[in-house]
Amino acid sequence: MADYTLKNLKDVDDAAPAFGLSPDLEARFAREPLELENMGISYQRLAPDFRGFGHRHKTQEEVYVIVSGSGRIKLEDEVVELRQWDAVRVPKDTTRAFEAGPDGLELLAIGAPSTGPGDAEIEQDWWTD
């Protein structure tokens, strides 16, 4: 029999309420539910015009895939427009944050290697106008 794990990402617990970010952010981290050993994946939904917090990683490289909606990503001092099916690779030590467009923004975040908790460094209010 094949070895695999099947999990619907919308069935994974939403971590955003625990951090006081709901309903503007939905964040479903599936590394543990999918029993991933070498990578992580999450589903994230940003409400229309919501701007998230900045963060960077000590070890993990990430790729973000825009599933629906549009918005922008700030990478250090550069702001880049995003639309459906754009994929953005971000190295471990680059600070980044997302801002949803008027229709909101849904994305998948895929990171490797699998680091577990403690790899991300959060910077609240990092992206200011």
List of domains in the chain: 10-115 (2.60.120.10)
Mean pLDDT of the 53-61 span: 95
> Using 50, 70 and 90 to split pLDDT, how confident is the model at 65?
very high
In the predicted structure, residue 78 carries a pLDDT above the cut 90? yes
pLDDT tens-digit profile of 12-23? 999 999 999 999
Longest CA pairwise span in the chain (Å): 55
pLDDT band at 34 (very low <50, low <70, confident <90, very high): very high
Residue 118 has pLDDT above 90, yes or no: no
Least confident of 47-56, 103-112, 113-122: 113-122
pLDDT, position 77:
96
In whole angstroms, give the CA distance from residue 72 to residue 93: 19
DSSP assignment letter at 119: -
For residue 48, pLDDT beyond 90 = yes
Q: Please state the pTM of the whole predicted model.
A: 0.94
pLDDT at position 115 over 90: no
Q: Round to whole Å and give the CA distance between 126 and 29.
A: 23
